[in-house]
Chains A and B, each alone.
Chain A
Amino acid sequence: MARTLPPLARFLIRRVITAILLAWGITLVTFVLTNLVPGDPVAANLGQRAMNDPAIVAQWRAEHGLDKPLWEQYGLYLQGMLQGDLGTSQQSHRPVAQDLAEFVPATLELAGAAILVSLVLGVAFGVLAALRRDRLPDHVLRVLSLIGISVPTFWLALVAFYVFFYRLQITPGSGRVDPALGMAPGVTGLQTVDALIAGRWDVFTSAVGHLITPALVLALYTIGLLTRFTRSAVLEVLGQDYVRAARAKGLPGRTVLFRYVLRSALVPVITVAGLAFGSLLSGTVLVEAIFAWPGIGQYAYKSATTLDLPAVMGVGLVVGVVYLVINLIVDVLYGVIDPRVRLQ
């Protein structure tokens, strides 16, 4: 069967099957992890007085299906998941799917802005460092990018909030848009996009203003990482014979850089950027709290500390799926950038 399909379709099918297996693995890990450990969700959710009343405890356990054997709980969860039901959060008393639909776009907007900034700045800095190797710009960028990957994100968020909002008052405070303006209604859930679609220029500028600081804070680590990676990738390509040949036949420097060097140097960079997006998503846990950004980072934190199992599994699943989708995009991009991959 698979023989008759074109290579791209075969490749995509294989990737999607791997993705589904991994997503299933994620639910299994979270489920086992959250059930085998000593923490008790009942104690975490009910008050001390309610805990002393066996009737209330039993009722609560029955309500959340905790009185059934473990394998049955897991089976029920999987069954619900296939129907788009991720269970009910023990904290918000709402369906987890509904909670996620509300919080995921905010985080995607933040992480998406951060990865864009990282790619632009990281690649630019990396190319600059490689072209000026062992000269001043290279040394300065090396120290700066190492500082970038060494700064504790949660601390930087706090410092940025203090300096830019509290002291200098040049950035707006917490949240996604100015509450006086109200959120732009829209389908994507991304405030910047929704505001543009709705033609609300005021909401758009407010959303961008709110986005800048947390996105930059979140991006700093990835900027440093991509700078280092781009530098070594470009250096490696610069020494290749075909680059020397392109120079020798008198092609302008810009053509050599963009058509010959960057094209092959960007392949490893894009792999790293794809991996970094996953860490950006979980890095939002530490940034969202400071900027009161209503995303899955804060949701994950609240769920984890109260052992809200359905919610934690939901977050794990969403982040895992986003991660897999990003990797899929990266794999397809390989083919676009590097013709050798396409031939295989």
Chain B
Amino acid sequence: MRRDPLARKGLLRRLPEAWRQPLAVVGVVIALAWVVIAVAAPVLAPHDPLAQELPRLAPPGPEHWFGTDQLGRDILSRVMYGARVSIPLTVLLVAMSVLIGGLLGACAGYFGKWVDESIMRLADLVFAFPTVILAMVVAAALGASLTNAVLAVLVVAWPAYARVTRGLVLGVRGREFVLSGRLLGFSAWRSLRVDVLPNVTGPILVLATLDIGTALLLLSGLSFLGLGAKPPSPEWGSMVASGVEVFDSWWVATFPGLAILTVVLAFNFLGDTLRDALDPRTARAIKERAL
């Protein structure tokens, strides 16, 4: 592996400072807690998330901590099981956006000319379109299901990565170590993989961390509109939507909404700190304080 020695060292040296930031620690703790809940939901959940039992619409109490919904299902258990639906899908979604957008952006930046033009104009087109409405149209057209909602968000999410990757690749492309690789006879693909990509991963990972929150908000928003998860499935957005019907029973909508909020917040805490640490301008400020 050949890397730009300066950039690499800088990245590694800056990362530990990020962990001295309390917000990042809080973010990691919340995110880890949700991962544990998602994995251990069958053990942790006090009730079956789909079992319909009396009483219906019970307020939060010792038996049902978060109360029950209009079908008598335990909301705490549904929120816990919801983590198994929303979190893996969101991570998968962002990973796919990074992969597709990153690859297209890298090609655009590396090859230039018509490849660049056609990919970036396509990205511009998606940018010009209002995000939620485009996602809504795609989801409605494909048919309401969680998979299609993920595809719909993917359609609107990849251009951001394409743009950032392209810019970063453009910056690295002309550097000596890349050119010397090419002169040694590296193929375009090998040069891209060995010399270019390792030098652009840092900023893209930060963007991805920040984007997990946005993707979850959009995905649960589509479910809230009835364009995502199907009814019995414990998905947070659709659980909030079912709370609209039983307005008096505030607990039906409140707890799944808090679940979305805490997950998004955790990733934003983490992403915000990472961005500060990797951004040379603010990094200086952090370092000054650490000294």
Contact = CB atoms under 8 A, between A and B. Distances in A.
Interface stretch (B44-52, B98-106, B139-147): B139-147
Interface stretch (A23-31, A71-79, A198-206, A336-344): A23-31
Contact of B261 (A150, A232, A312, A319): A150
Given A149-B268, A151-B261, A307 B140 contact: yes
A123 interface: no
Interface string A137-159: 00000110011011111111011
A301 interface: yes
A197 interface: no
Interface string A16-34: 0000001001100110011
Contact of B131 (A147, A282, A290): A282
Contact of A152 (B136, B142, B221, B268): B221
B217 interface: yes
Contacts of A316: 129-130, 133-134, 137
Interface residues of B, number: 49
Interface in A137-188: 142-143, 146-147, 149-156, 158-159, 162, 166
B285 A235 contact: yes
Given A33-B138, A33-B141, A39-B141, A286 B221 contact: yes
A29 B257 contact: no
B133 A319 contact: yes
B131 A279 contact: yes
A158 B249 CA distance: 12
A150 B266 CA distance: 9
B137 A312 contact: yes
Interface string A206-247: 000000000000000000000010001001100000000000
B265 A39 contact: no
B217 A152 contact: yes
B123 to A, nearest CB: 12
A4 interface: no
A128 B243 CA distance: 38
B10 to A, nearest CB: 19
A301 B136 contact: yes
B41 to A, nearest CB: 21
A172 to B, nearest CB: 16
B256 to A, nearest CB: 8
A110 interface: no
Q: Is the interface of A mostly helix, strand, loop or mixed?
A: helix
A234 B226 CA distance: 42
A279 B128 CA distance: 11
A305 B130 contact: no
B240 interface: yes
Given A282-B132, A282-B133, A286-B224, A38 B23 contact: no
B244 A290 contact: yes
A134 interface: yes
Interface string A68-110: 0000000000000000000000000000000000000000000
Given A33-B141, A39-B143, A304-B136, A142 B23 contact: yes
B264 interface: yes
A190 interface: no
Given A147-B265, A152-B264, A34 B141 contact: yes
B226 A155 contact: no
B158 to A, nearest CB: 14
Interface string B19-41: 00001000000000000000000
A22 B124 contact: yes
Contacts of B213: 149-150
Nearest to A147: B265
Contacts of B281: 232, 235-236
A125 interface: no
B114 interface: no
Contacts of A143: 23
Contact of A232 (B221, B253, B282): B282
Nearest to B22: A139
Contacts of B224: 152, 154, 286
Contacts of A158: 240, 243-244, 253, 257
Contacts of B264: 150-152
A152 B261 contact: yes
A286 B244 CA distance: 13
Given A285-B133, A319-B133, 20 more contacts: A142-B272, A146-B268, A147-B265, A149-B213, A152-B237, A153-B217, A154-B224, A156-B257, A235-B281, A235-B285, A282-B130, A282-B132, A286-B225, A300-B133, A300-B136, A301-B136, A315-B133, A320-B128, A320-B129, A323-B130
11 contacts: A33-B137, A33-B138, A37-B142, A38-B142, A155-B256, A279-B132, A283-B132, A290-B244, A316-B137, A323-B128, A323-B130
Interface of B: 23, 124-126, 128-134, 136-143, 213, 217, 220-221, 224-227, 237, 240-241, 243-244, 247, 250, 253-254, 256-257, 260-261, 264-265, 268-269, 272, 281-282, 285, 289
